Each structure stands twice: as C-alpha cells, then as structure tokens.
C-alpha cells in the first residue's frame, strides 16, 4: 500500500547520501547534463518525460541544487553548480544520445505546454563548460564521437582511392596521347 504522505527520506542524512551517490553515478555515465526549470510540474508530467527518455537511455531526476553541486565537484560537470537557481529537473544524457534526447525533451515540452521562455532548458554542461541560451541547441546537436570517427575514416579511405584513380588515369592519358601522336605521325607521313 502506498503512503499518501511524503516520507521525508530525502531530507534525512541517509536520504541525502543516497541521492548524492545516485547523482554521482548518473554523472559518471553522462556526456552532457541539461538543467530544465521544474517549478510547477506535477509528478505525472515528469513520469511522462521519464518514459519518453527511456528510448534514449537518458535519465531525468529532480535533485536539490546543493546536492548536484556537491555531486559535480571535481568532475567535468562542476560548472553546473555555479549557475543554479530555483527548482530544476536534471537530464543526464549518455554518450551519443544528446540529439534524440533533446528532441524528446522538446516534444514533451510541447505536449505539456511548457514552451514559454521561462520553461526552456536553461543550462547544458559538457566537458567542463556550461552553455546557455542558443548555445544549448548547438551543443546538443554536435556530432557524436562515433559519427566523427566514421567521417574521418571515410576521409582517410577517400585519399588512397583518389590517388589510385589519379595513378590509373596517368597511363590511360599517356596511352591516349601516344595514340593521338601516332595517328598524327601517320597522317603527316601519308601527306608527305
């Protein structure tokens, strides 16, 4: 049977320690963390977002600002602690899932009618840097490491292919040039 009143576990020392450890674990498995204003969002809407984020492997968690600051100390997410105000929902995004996760977040914001500027993502932290405003859209849409490696590999593969085509073209062009020269000599030889 569910307890209709909050248990207050998160306000106890043991509760805060558990939340801190869980948050550290989420930070360890994340490549980017988003902070979204949480004030006025009911539990049903948060659960709806969590369900949508399951597709991408991202996790959404409401963590007190002081606890996220403490969890982020000494990590690549430390800048998140400098920019927190009010209640926030944090989205912990694993490597390679920032674009689909951000798309799911935008879709959810539309569904729950939270598209006003004060409800939009206010902070993204990645690799020790904090991004705000329009920079968030740019950061979450960066290509993944896998996509970059693929592009580099394709570029490297293209170089020998182009060299081979060039090397192959030289004899063909020489052959055509000698053929044309031979034709010209034969033509001139007949004319003499």
pLDDT in tens, 132-159: 888 888 888 887 777 778 877 777 776 6
How far CA 45 is from CA of 39, 50, 64, 183, in Å, comes to 12, 9, 19, 82
pLDDT in tens, 8-20: 666 778 888 888 8
User: Which pLDDT does position 166 carry in this prediction?
Assistant: 64
109-118, 170-179, 181-190: which has the minimum mean pLDDT? 170-179
- 3-class SS at 120? coil
User: Which pLDDT does position 64 carry in this prediction?
Assistant: 87
User: Which pLDDT does position 190 carry in this prediction?
Assistant: 60
pLDDT in tens, 106-117: 898 888 888 777
pLDDT in tens, 66-98: 888 898 888 888 888 777 778 888 999 998 888
Q: What's the rounded Cα separation, in Å, for the pair 47 and 108?
A: 11
**Domain range 9-142, CATH class:** alpha beta
- 24 has a pLDDT exceeding 80: yes
φ/ψ region of 105 (left if φ > 0, alpha if ψ in -120 to 50, else beta) reads alpha
37-46, 52-61, 169-178: which has the minimum mean pLDDT? 169-178
Contact, 31 vs 129, CB < 8 A? no
Query: Higher pLDDT residue, 44 or 155?
Result: 44
Q: What's the rounded Cα separation, in Å, for the pair 68 and 116?
A: 25
User: Which pLDDT does position 3 carry in this prediction?
Assistant: 39
Rg of the chain over Cα atoms, rounded to whole angstroms, equals: 29
> What pTM was estimated for this model as a whole?
0.70
Q: What's the rounded Cα separation, in Å, for the pair 152 and 145?
A: 10
């Amino acid at each position: 049977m569910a307890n209709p009143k909050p248990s207050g576990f998160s306000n106890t020392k043991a509760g805060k320690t558990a939340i801190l450890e869980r948050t550290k674990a989420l930070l360890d498995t994340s490549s980017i963390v988003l902070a979204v204003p949480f004030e006025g969002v009911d539990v049903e809407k948060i659960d709806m977002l969590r369900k949508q984020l399951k597709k991408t492997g991202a996790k959404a968690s409401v963590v007190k600002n002081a606890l996220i600051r403490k969890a982020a100390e000494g990590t690549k997410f430390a800048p998140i602690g400098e920019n927190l105000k009010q209640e926030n929902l944090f989205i912990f995004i694993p490597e390679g899932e920032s674009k689909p996760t951000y798309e799911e977040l935008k879709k959810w914001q539309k569904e729950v009618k939270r598209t006003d500027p004060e409800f939009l993502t206010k902070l993204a932290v990645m690799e020790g840097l904090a991004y705000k405003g329009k920079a968030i859209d740019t950061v979450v849409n960066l290509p993944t490491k896998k996509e970059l490696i693929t592009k580099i590999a394709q570029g490297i593969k293209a170089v020998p292919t182009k060299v081979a085509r060039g090397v192959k073209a030289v004899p063909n062009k020489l052959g055509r040039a000698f053929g044309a020269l031979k034709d010209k000599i034969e033509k001139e030889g007949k004319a003499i």
